[in-house]
Structure 1
Amino acid sequence: MDAAAALCLVLILATTTASPAVYAQQTNNGACVASERDALLSFRAGIWSDPQNLFSSWNGQDCCQWSGVRCSNRTGRVVKLDFRNNLFMDDMFDEWSGAKPHAMRGNISSSLVALHHLEYLDLSGNYLGGLGVPIPRFLGSLQSLVYLNLSCMDFDGKVPPQLGNLSRLLYLDLDNTWKPNYHGNMLHIEDISWLLNLPLLRFLDMSGVNLGAIGNWVQAVNMLPNLRALRLRECELVSLHTPIVHSNLTSLEILDLTDSGLYTINPAYWFWDVGTIRHLDLANNLISEAFPDAIGNMTSLEVLGLGGNYLTGVKSNVLKNLCNLRVLTLWSNRINQDLSQFLEGLPRCAWSKIELLDMSLTNLTGEIPKWINQWTDLSILQLSSNRLEGPVPLEIGMLGKLKQLYLDGNHLNGSMSEEHLATLVNLEELDLSYNSLDMMISSNWIPPFKLHVAYFPRCKMGPHFPRWLKGQRDVINLDISDAGIVDDLPDWFWSVFSNVQYLNISCNQISGRLPDTLEFMSSAFIFDLNSNNLTGTLPQLPKRLAELDISRNYLSGPLPQNFGAPFIQDLLLFENSINGTIPIYICKLQLLQVLDLAKNFLVGHLPRCSEETTEPSPILALILYENNLSGEFPSFLESCSELVLLDLAHNNFFGELPTWLADKLPDLSYLRLRHNKFSGSIPVQLTQLGHLQYVDLANNRISGSIPRTFANLGAMAQEIHTFGNPLVWSNERPANPDTSYSPKYDDSLVVVMKGQYLDYTSNVLYMVGLDLSCNNLVGEIPDELTSLIGLTNLNISHNQLSGRIPEKVGLLRSLESLDLSYNEISGEIPPGLSDITALSRLNLSYNNLSGRIPSGNQLQSLIDPESSYIGNNYLCGPPLSRNCWEPDAAGGDIEEHQQEAKYFYLGLAAGFVFGLWLVFVIVLFRTCAWSARSRAVPSRWTRLPQGLELQLRRG
């Protein structure tokens, strides 16, 4: 590529113009200078680890014959020391995994100052520093140096200004972006004026060196007239405010300011008038300005990298004069155009020259144009994560130089056949993930290419296993997940893909028995086989394996006592038929972060890991729900200080909850212990866990009261973030457009909410809940619970709680489910309950609540609202059929209604008394009448009227 060619040019110039002696071999038979030999031996004495045995040849008197040492063929003086660790990229894994790295370890002896003629020093990729160990100042005394490479080392602290004494320097590389054995090591510069003393400098790389304190870095760099390559990636550069009057960088060809926190590319502050720049990379910054027209004047540009910014108004016709353009990356900017229109605006004079075109995540629409075949030099085409639609044109198969084709995350449809791929003989990486494509490829087709990356998630490849993959033995990353495959795993599968690093066949219906061992897959790093029909036992795993997911299959038998993969980080085996006990080998996995053995048939106690190791465990998530495990709360968790998620639900654990939770598990965020036999009270120490956002202690034997200190759970009272959460994969995998992150578990946490069991997927990251139901809790509901305003689920049902519902319950605005049923709660329902607009499930049944049921807002749209209040004999009003005299929703004077009711009942009583008196009087008159009739001579004035007498008789 262009960058590599330019870099090679700089290297050649930097190492040949200084002195021919730099690369000259020792040709005379005399021994090297004794003082320099002694200096080299002192240097070796400071190296206490030499994995590559670079010093094995350091024998005899002639140091010029030693490995890594070159001398002048004229003077015998040491002019070159080359101890570059060419395998330092491999050390990224080795250092992480604890395997033996290739880098030297030790320190740089000051004896090197005796090498007065040293012109070339390369110690890159070695561990010769450490936390608090800066670049040695004495290196500034090696004034003959023209080449100094200290990149990819582990120095820390201030870059010594003494490097400004190296006035002959042509090449200076302090790249600190890749930090081996990183523990916070950071180089920084407080004063860059020493750079002005290096006028001959042609190559400068200070990537990863913090320049945040340097406000005049542009002016300083502008004083290096011979500079040809400048790399300042990840340097935290400050914003530019002083315009450049005149640029002295008349030879600058490479400018790389990737990921340095830049906000502006205002032409007044930059090098747009440098007509020699061929490589310009400003990717991964914070530039949100309009696309600068000045770029269109940089006619020498061959490489233009602007991806990962927020540029607006990106118009391709601005680049119409860039006829030398070979690499264009605009990913993650908002182009917001039709793909065909944008491509037509790019310089036609460069259509046949462009080798790399990356416009991923730019909101492109439309179809891939058929005339894409005119871009005959295209080697890399990346159009991922846009809104492209329609079929993939057959013409894309005419791009014979194509090595990488990324069309993932679009709305492409139709089919892809052999005709699309038959002439792509150079194809190495193919990503068609997350489209609606049918792979209509014959099972006996033999592809002309050898893929290294093959990504087909959610493409229809089945129902038969794609046999055309049989010849792809060079595949490193293979993903055929959710591809509609309903077939047996072919016999050749494991041998053909024995060199894979990433393998994903999940979410199909693939059958077959796992082999007894996968140790032969020595490069394997990530295996995802979940949600298939695989059988067998857990095999012996590859040594380098970091992530394994064989959940939702049919694995059986016990876990092996030693299943390999000593450096594994994530082990997911949930929902199988694994039985037996958890082996002690789990305790020896010193890098294990996630262990999920849920929904199996495991029995017995958890192993006592403290007896196996004295090292703290890095485990972040332990998920063991729905087994038959027993014992007290696991004591080995005391050494798991980084634990975030603990799920022991649906087992037979017993005893009291420990009081050391806050001290030993300070980062605990999810605690799920439901359906066990835990007893005792809720320890106050539990409420000191500041990160705790989900607590489920339901269906145990816990007694006592609810601690008022639950108000200390700050994570339940704030917005939840997913950064650093163990439920998100840390390693890169194909981008899923359905989510901005990749959840590790399909149902890592089963939440009882809204009256039902819900399998939470990625949403578990945002779950904030408290479930204390089905215990023996007594006392009142603490008012302090209403401060947990982030709660989405609160369930304290089926206890013996009394008192009233807290008046400020309406503050819990995020509640989706509230269950207080089956308690002895009394009093009225607070009106503020209607303020919880997110509420969709409410259960207050079977308590002693009274008064009018509040109305308004969400309470009117609850599911089966009447059942929310049954079992409370003194509640009235809608949705119950029981009317009440209390005021309606419009309000009123309750005392007035009570007074009216009092008068009503008094009147009713008076009427009853009067009626009773009237009956008494009538009976009395009747008695008198009968008495008068019995007399011989009745008196006329005492005789009753005939009508009344008749009535009395009938009565």
Structure 2
Amino acid sequence: MASFAAPVSSMDAAAALCLVLILATTTTSPVYGQQTNNGGCITKERDALLSFRAGIRSDPQNLFSSWNGRDCCQWSGVRCSNRTGHVVKLDVRNGLFLDDIYRSWYSENPHGMRGNISSSLVALHHLEYLDLSGNYLSGVDVPIPGFLGSLQSLRYLNLSSMDFHGKVPPQLGNLSRLLYLDLNNNWNHNSYGMMLHIEDISWLLRLALLRFLDLTSVNLSAIGNWVQVVNTLYNLRVLRLRRCGLVFPQTPTVHSNLTSLQIPDLSDTGFHTINPTYWFWDVGTIMHLDLTNNEIAEAFPDAMGNMTSLEVLHLGGNHLTSIKPEVLGNLCYLRVLTLWSNLINQDISQFLQGLPHCAWSKMELLDMSCTNVTGEIPRWINQWTDLSTLQLSSNRLEGSVPSEIGMLGKLKQLYLDGNYFNGSISEEHLDTLVNLEELDLSYNSLHLMISSNWIPPFKLRRAYFPRCKMGPHFPLWLNWQKGVVYLDISDAGIVDNLPDWFWSVVSNVQYLNISFNQISGRLPRTLEFMSSAVIFDLNSNNLTGTLPLLPRQLAELDISRNSLSGPLPRNFGAPFIEELLLSENSINGSIPTYICQLQSLLVLDLAKNLLAGHLPVCSEETKKLNRSIRALVLYENNLSGEFPSFLKSCSELVLLDLAHNNFVGELPAWLANKLPNLSYLRLRHNKFSGSIPGQLTQLEHLQYVDLADNRISGSIPHSLANLKAMIQEDQTIWNPLVWSYERPANPDTNDSPKYDDSLAVVIKGQDLDYTSTIIYIVGLDLSCNSLVGEIPDELTSLVRMNNLNISHNQLSGRIPEKVGSLRSLESLDLSFNELSGDIPSGLSDIMMLSKLNLSYNNLSGRIPSGNQLQSLIDPASSYIGNNYLCGTPLSRNCWEPDVTRGDIEEHQDEAKYFYLGLAAGFVFGLWLVFIIFLFRSCGGFAMCGAMPSCWARLPEAQGLALQLRRG
């Protein structure tokens, strides 16, 4: 965000001279002359100023508080000529916004004045200086007023950062006396695109006196002749065309008329070559050249060595290769060189040796961050005596930090973060750095060996030490850094109590991070005195107490994994907070309704606390919260009630985790319509009942669903194929779950919502925690419910799934034949159901599979072999409880070498007929013996009917038959 306003240092000598010439035309003296009758103020011009003020609806800086009385020349921002008495200057710029972009981003009214620009200003015929910058005096689709072209006396016009839209009026070409024109449109709350555009730039030809021109973020993509037009402005000294969408001519302009040009800024323009035939290479007056963030992918041209006036060279953010610093050997006035994010791929000593030796003692800023330089910082770095900024972040530098750096007495900014430095940093490195303001030693293996009674000679504004060993005791030298604005001592090995002076030292911070230490202490009851605070990260410590009253401007708060207790206050302040992370504490009571009033809230994480009761019912007046929130994480509490109805208004919700609570009732059918961006849904271990609503499958961004351990019944919906996020393998498709997870080294640039706490996922039978990698987890967990019916074939279309668990239900039927299509599966659990039939052979084609559980079903047949199934851990346990499975890894052998399901059914039929025939033969043989016995005893069948004595011997025959049956 700091890039939205040009730093003062970039207004080099040429721009400063331009301003001096302009300001020389004005004076603060009172007016004299016959035209004045209001105590030195011309009535017509006074009325014009009052009409301008009437168009302003809000004035948070109170710029108009002095606009009373008869003498308008004494009003704030108004200056008159001491010769004619006419108003010659009107300056109502929003100084707060332009001077502190980072802080104003989170302020209630970052744009200062609001209203419109009254056409009454055209009455100020003698106005030479007009500055309205940083104010919101436009609106949606409101262009720059064309009537400003009537102010033909203007020499200075600044309309930067005002949110104008539409076409730049060509009437500005009437301002033929103009020396300074700033239409910088870089700051725009309504859109990130270029809202101003120019279709015909020929009106610039009439501004022959122009010395300063800034068209940053004004769309010039429709202009093909911009080089030719700009080339006519021979008085031009400062040219800024950053982010203009420039179209570069195929035939470069060889000769340039810009004989006075000192500062060309062509950063972020898509500039693709530094061909020496381009127009600015032969301008010998250039002192400041900015080609940052372009597409240049070649070596330095030799022509660059001829720009002997060059003092500032910005080439960062390109793709330069084979960089030979010797090309710059003649640039003896070089003071600033930025090469960040180019691949230098050299030893740092070798590269620095190649830079012009005649400039070593003049060099003020050197930025070689992210350039893949290696080796150790040379000890002769102390010869760069004027160096005030040294940035070597994110390289492969190693060894110890030389103590000679401590001899650079003018050093203000030292960034050594993200390397492989080791050893210690002692007072010797820091004792003489009296001007040091910014120090970043983070993400190295450094140990700060500083005595407890050392008094630093500097006053740091930015201090970054994450993963540097500063402990175990709290670094007492920080007590002398009362002006610190950004402080990060996270993961620094501190095991100590928070000192009493700490909150006083950090009273002016905007960014504070003491996370991942073992810092103890009780939080103060209020932090409202920290009026500048924007980001607090205190997570993973041993802090106690209750949640304090928070600073009003606070945007992000993380006190998770501490020992906070007590209830949440009914009103904890921070009405503009965006991220509130309080998980893994011992906070009890209920969630206050104040949550409903947090209109900017994006992330709310209260997981793993002792909260109970129902979620608050937000009134219609407070449901603005619901439109912004993106992540609601409440798992492992004792919350109850039905599915939260206030979520109907949470149209931006991406992540919802209500697991391990006591919620009841059915899942609502409005989920798909009201939560179109929902990607992560975790409701496990509650008491939800009813069936799975078919509308749930209409959520095209839904990639993780966990409804396990509930009381859900019915069947699995056949509309699973609608879950596009579980099907599409194109990673370029927009995924609302993708956020910024890791805090960048410079928090100024962090303007994206994030959720960097861990999310619990049950996969492979384990509870695993994920942070940024959650975007790669695609899963469906319906286990431990009362689902019935068959597994729908549509489930096999969810090819991105890496976790599928539908165990412990009452599912029947067969495993879908196309289960092998789920090539991304790492874990598959179908255990404890009533599934039957054979195991599809395609299961062996899932190469990612590492956890398989098909136990306790009614599966039969030979277990498939080959590929990944042979490498499962404890594979036999995957199949137990299925009495008709056979083959490896079970000890039960199959009957045939290649037994199929048909073979088993055929053998089962043969066995059935065999036993039936055996029983029939036994009965027939028994009766045959019985009959023979009768014949022998009674002389034949025919005699039995006439001889009752034969029937009398039947019991004897029956006894014989019984003996035969037993024998």
TM-score by length of 1: 0.90
Deviates more, 1:509-518 or 1:354-363: 509-518
Q: Which amino acid aligns with 1:27?
A: V
**1:474-553 → structure 2 map (5 Å cutoff):** 474-553=483-562
Q: What residue identity is the alignment partner of 1:415?
A: S
Q: Structure 1 residue 577 and structure 2 residue 605: aligned?
A: no
> How much has 1:53 moved relative to structure 2?
2.7
Q: CA deviation at 1:52?
A: 2.5
CA distance in structure 1 between the aligned counterparts of 2:259 and 2:429, rounded to whole angstroms: 47
SS of 1:117's equivalent? coil
Q: Distance in 2 between matches of 1:695 and 1:12?
A: 61
Give the counterpart of 2:387 among 378, 382, 387. Answer: 378
Other-structure match for 2:371: 362
> Deviation per CA, 1:531-557, whole angstroms, max 9, x where unpaired?
111111111111111111111111111
Matches within 5 A, 1:6-405: 7=11, 9-11=13-15, 13-15=17-19, 17=21, 21-23=25-27, 25-28=29-32, 30-31=36-37, 32-89=41-98, 92=101, 96-97=105-106, 99-101=108-110, 103-180=112-189, 186-405=195-414
Deviation of 1:899 (Å): 13
Distance apart, 1:173 and its partner CA: 0.2
Q: CA deviation at 1:488?
A: 1.1
SS at match of 2:491: coil
Question: Are positions 1:628 and 2:655 aligned together?
Answer: no
Q: Does 1:797 align with 2:807?
A: yes
SS of the counterpart of 2:358? Answer: helix
User: For residues 191 and 316 of structure 1, do their structure 2 counterparts lie closer, same or farther at Cα, with a shift above 3 Å needed?
Assistant: same
**1:323-377, Cα deviation, whole Å (9 max, x unpaired):** 1111111111111111111111111111111111111111111111111111111
Shift of the 610–265 alpha-carbon distance from structure 1 to 2, 3 Å rule, reads: farther
| Cα distance in 2, alignment partners of residues 537 and 827 from structure 1 | 59
| Gaps in structure 1 of 5+ consecutive residues | 928-955
Counterparts in 2 of 1:70 and 1:865: CA distance versus 1, 3 Å: same
Partner AA of 2:91 in structure 1: D
| Residue in structure 2 matching 1:434, options 440, 443, 452 | 443
- d(CA) in 1 for partners of 2:737 and 2:98? 27
Q: Give, as a single letter, the amino acid of the residue that structure 1 aligns with 2:342.
A: N
Confirm or deny: 8 A CA contact 2:741 2:756 kept in the other structure.
no
Aligned to 1:933: none
For 1:147 and 1:12, locate their aligned partners in 2 and report how far apart those are by CA, in whole Å: 13
The structural deviation recorded for 1:114 is 2.4
Q: Distance in 1 between matches of 2:905 and 2:144?
A: 90
Report the counterpart of residue 714 of structure 2 in structure 1.
704
Taking a change above 3 Å as real, the CA distance of residues 564 and 483 of structure 1, as seen in their structure-2 partners, is: same
SS at match of 1:268: coil
Match of 1:745 in 2: 756
Distance 1:23 1:13, change over 3 A: farther
| d(CA) in 1 for partners of 2:268, 2:690 | 54
Is 1:663 equivalent to 2:673 in the alignment? Answer: yes
How far 1:89 moved relative to its partner?
A: 3.4
Q: Aligned with 2:277: secondary structure? A: helix
Letter in 1 for 2:778: V
In structure 2, C-alpha distance between the alignment counterparts of 1:484 and 1:209, rounded to whole Å: 49
Residue 104 of structure 1: CA displacement?
1.4
Letter of the 2:31 counterpart: T
Task: Return the offset for 1:430.
Answer: 0.9
Rounded Cα–Cα distance in structure 2 between residues aligned with 1:761 and 1:211:
42
Give the distance between the partners of 1:396 and 1:19, measured in 2 at CA.
Answer: 42
1:553-607 per-residue CA deviation (whole Å, 9 max, x = no partner) reads 1111111111112211111111111111111111111111111111111110011
Q: 1:755 aligns with which of 751, 762, 765?
A: 765
Would the aligned equivalents of 1:852 and 1:886 in 2 still touch at CA under 8 Å? no
Deviation at 1:452, TM superposition (A): 1.1
Match of 1:816 in 2: 826
1:94 CA drift (Å):
7.0
SS in 2 for 1:172: strand
Give the whole-Å Cα distance in 1 for the aligned partners of 2:336 and 2:555: 35
Pick one of 816, 819, 824 that aligns with 1:806: 816
| Conserved 8 A contact 2:862-2:900 | no
SS of match in other structure, 2:411: coil
- Determine the structure 1 residue equivalent to 2:938: none
**8 Å contact from structure 2 (residues 28, 80) kept in 1:** yes
Partners of 2:22 and 2:760 in 1: CA distance: 68
Contact 2:713 2:788 in 1 (8 A): yes
* 2:727 aligned residue: 717
Instruction: Judge conservation of contact 1:682–1:702 (CA < 8 Å) in 2.
Output: yes
Checking the alignment, whether the CA contact within 8 Å between 2:463 and 2:488 is kept in structure 1 is yes
* Alpha-carbon distance, 1:771 to partner: 0.8
Cα distance, 1:129–1:863 mapped onto 2, change above 3 Å: same
CA distance in 2, matches of 1:386, 1:651: 47
Q: 2:281 is matched by which residue type in structure 1? A: W
Q: Does 1:768 align with 2:772?
A: no
The answer to whether the aligner puts 1:449 opposite 2:449 as a matched pair is no
Other-structure match for 1:952: none
2:847 counterpart of 1:837 = yes
Residues in 2 aligned to 1:168 and 1:158: alpha-carbon distance in whole angstroms: 22
Distance change (3 Å), C-alpha of 1:590 and 1:468: same
More deviation, 722-731/300-309: 722-731
| Matching residue of 1:683 | 693
Counting aligned pairs with the same residue, the percent is 74
Q: 1:396 to 1:41 in 2, by over 3 A?
A: same
Q: Distance in 2 between matches of 1:545 and 1:139?
A: 40
Displacement, 1:248? 1.4
Deviation at 1:57, TM superposition (A): 3.1
* Structure 1 residue matching 2:544: 3-state secondary structure: strand
Superposed CA deviations along residues 673-724 of structure 1, whole A, max 9, x for unmatched, are 0000001111122111121111111111111111122211211223557976
CA, structure 1 residues 146+351, in 2 after alignment: closer, same or farther (shift >3 Å)?
Answer: same
Q: Following TM superposition, by how much is the alpha carbon of 1:213 offset from its aligned partner in structure 2, in angstroms?
A: 2.3
CA contact (8 A) 1:610 1:639 kept: no
Q: How far is 1:34 from its partner? A: 3.4
- CA drift of 1:256 comes to 1.1
Gaps of 5+ in 2: 1-5, 934-967
The aligned amino acid for 1:557 is G
Task: Give the Cα separation in 1 of the matches to 2:494 and 2:456.
Answer: 20
TM-fit CA distance, 1:152: 1.1
**Alpha-carbon deviation of 1:898?**
8.8
Deviates more, 1:621-630 or 1:208-217: 208-217
Deviation at 1:135, TM superposition (A): 0.5
CA distance in 2, matches of 1:364, 1:872: 61
- Name the amino acid aligned to 1:652: N
C-alpha distance 91-689 of structure 1, shift in aligned 2 (>3 A): farther
TM-score of the two chains, using structure 2 as the length reference: 0.89
Equivalent residue letter for 1:301: L
Per the alignment, residue 838 of structure 2 pairs with: 828
Letter in 2 for 1:137: G
CA distance, structure 2, for counterparts of residue 9 and residue 687 of structure 1? 63
Q: Which amino acid aligns with 1:99?
A: E
Q: Which moved more, 1:404-413 or 1:255-264?
A: 255-264
Whole-Å Cα distance in 1 between the matches of residues 916 and 777 of structure 2? 62
1:561 counterpart (556, 559, 570): 570
Matched, 1:883 2:893: yes
